[in-house]
Each structure stands twice: as structure tokens, then as C-alpha cells.
Amino acid sequence: MVDVLVILDGASEAPGTAGPTLELARTPALDALAAAGDCSWKAVLPPGVPVGSETAIAALLGWVPDGPVDRGAVEAAARGIVVPPGKRAWRVDVGVRPHRHKLVAVSDEEPWIAADVPVRVWPPGAVPPQILDATTVVIGAVGAATGLASLMGARVVIPEGATGRPDSDLGAKLVAARDAIERGAQRVVVHVGGPDEAAHERDREAKIAAIEAADRELIGQLHEIVASVGGRLRVSPDHGCDPQTGMHVAGPVPVVSWSRVTVPR
């Protein structure tokens, strides 16, 4: 019995939004999963907690933060950067999408970077506790999901070709997920960053295409695998991201959950 979660980053919009991309996208695999399972709206984060992947994915992995999460520590962990005692890691974004560069700086004080493009230094926050172990496998690109998983003690798989963007190699993530299930992982989490990235770039069509790619290349195949070994498959955004504004949206997200219990012979 395996518990599989596909995180479609930023895939939803606020409840009541006219023409949500999840509805506009052609998603036969997700539709079949929903028809055979349950659909519900779920509040991932408590009110007042900043809405971001570093908070919402932490909650989906099992630790619900009560305030900001340290994105610098998360990004350092995703890159295997060890932060010495007395210092901290800072995530610094230089430039704006789609020409944004993500840097990780390790220093004892907030870094100051001179550039003729906008610079954003992410604020410090809580570092997630180590509550997971290698029976949880988290598959994704270098970023929030894999950084959180690493800090929380899960096994992290970053397949070649995983970019966290709409061009990510979802087939490589599927291979990694199948492999983890075959090796007996109790819990497998696959992160798909494309919908969020497209929404931040205010590209509604690209967001729809990213959702359709996940449906076509990942969800139906995982449904079949979980059906054959028994277990649960859920598909959930971590948070919403509005392609109109390019901003994250607070509030509940739509979750599809399906399970099959296999009876040992």
C-alpha cells in the first residue's frame, strides 16, 4: 500500500473564479480519478501564514507552519549547501521572470546586492523539523519541494531534466516515482512546478498546457500503478496562483483523492 501525492504547484485559483484553468484544461486522467474517487476543497495553510510553496508544501508533507518558512534554508538544502553554525542562507532573486536568477547566499547578515534590475531578498523564517524518513520519497526539481523534503528527512530524487518549469521532464519524474514504489516506498510525492511558473508569468494558456501535460504524462500512469499495487493517489495544488495577476492566492485548494485497497491472497 503506497500513498502517492502529486503536487500541481499553483494549479488552482480562488474558489468562485470564473473559468478556472483546472476546469478549462483537458484532463481525462484527472477526470477519471475524480469520478472514481473524491473531490474536496482543502485548506492547506492556517489563516495568516504567508502563501508560498515553502509554507504550503511543508504542510502537505506533514508539518504545518505557523508563520514564514526560511526559504533561504530550503533553497540551500535543495542544492546540498551546508550552512555553517552562526550563518544563514538567503534566497536572493535578481531580475524578474522570465529573466529572473535565483541565488543562494550564505552569510551572517542579510546580503546586499547592487544590480540595475530588481533584487528581492527573501525574509528569514522557521526551518522545518526533521519529521520524515527515507520511507518518504520526494521527486522534483531543485527548489522548494526538494529542499523542504531534504530538511524534513525524506529521500529526495531530482531526475535529470526536472526543471520546475513548464518544460520539465515529467516522464523522468514518472520513472522515478515508479522506481520508488517498486522499491517499497510508503509515501511518494511528485512535485510539478509548471502551472505555478506559467501563472506567475501571467500566461493562462501556458498554465493550462502545464496542467494538461501533467495529466497526460503523469497522472493516468500513476493511477494505473497505484491500482496495481494498492494504495492511495491524491492530486492537489499546494496553493493557488492567478494567471490574471501573477500572484499566489490564499484559501482552500481542490483535492482529488482516490484509493484502492488490495486484499492479500
Site of interaction with Zn ion (CB under 5 A): 196
Q: Which is nearer to Zn ion, 70 or 196 (CB)?
A: 196
Q: Which of 196, 212 has the CB closer to Zn ion?
A: 196
- Closest distance between Zn ion and the C-beta of residue 10, in Å? 5
CA separation for the pair 184, 186 (Å, rounded): 6
Residue nearest to Zn ion (CB): 196
CB atoms within 10 A of CB 197: 23
For 16, the grid coordinates are: 468562485
How distant, in Å, are the alpha carbons of 31, 158, 188, 234, 249 from that of 37? 10, 29, 19, 9, 26
Phi, psi of 24 (to 5 degrees): -70, -30
Measured in whole angstroms, the distance separating CA 100 from the mean position of its chain's CA atoms is: 19
- Residue 196 CB, nearest distance to Zn ion (Å)? 4
Copy the grid coordinates of residue 91: 534566497
| Minimum CB distance to Zn ion smaller for 74 or for 181 | 74
C-alpha cell at 259: 484509493
Q: What is the DSSP string of 243-254?
A: TTTTEEE-S-EE
CB of 5 to Zn ion, least distance (A): 18
User: Minimum CB separation from Zn ion for residue 156, in Å?
Assistant: 20
Q: Determine how β-strand 247-249 pairs with β-strand 101-107.
A: unpaired
The smaller minimum CB distance to Zn ion, of residues 225 and 253, is found at: 253
- If the CB atoms of residues 196 and 217 are measured against Zn ion, the closer one turns out to be 196
Closest approach, Cβ 199 to Zn ion, in A, equals 7
